[in-house]
Amino acid sequence: MSKVCQLTGKRPISGNSVSHSHHKTKRKFYPNLQKKRFYIPEEDRWVTLKVSTSAIRTISKKGFTAYLRDLRKKGLSINI
């Protein structure tokens, strides 16, 4: 499975691992992704998504449908 958030689009970024002697080696920083089920009351169904923890926090604050509405306002297309 790809390590990309299905809602925010967060993906791994690359950087350097720096040792005590300041020797640098390439590494990746992965987003904190979780598999989470969300209930959509308008459609009366459950949806399982792979989302970042920051998206989970925002959804718990705003609500799932309001969060999707905001994403669509920003111009992001979500296929659920």
Contact 33, 3 (CB under 8 A): yes
Does the pLDDT of residue 79 top 80, yes or no? no
Q: Considering the entire predicted model, what is its pTM?
A: 0.83
More confident residue, 42 or 27: 27
pLDDT, residue 15, reads: 98
List domains and CATH numbers for the chain: 13-73 (2.30.170.40)
Q: Shortest CA distance to 37 belongs to which of 25, 46, 26? A: 46
Contact yes or no for 49/7 (Cβ under 8 A): yes
Res 74: pLDDT? 86
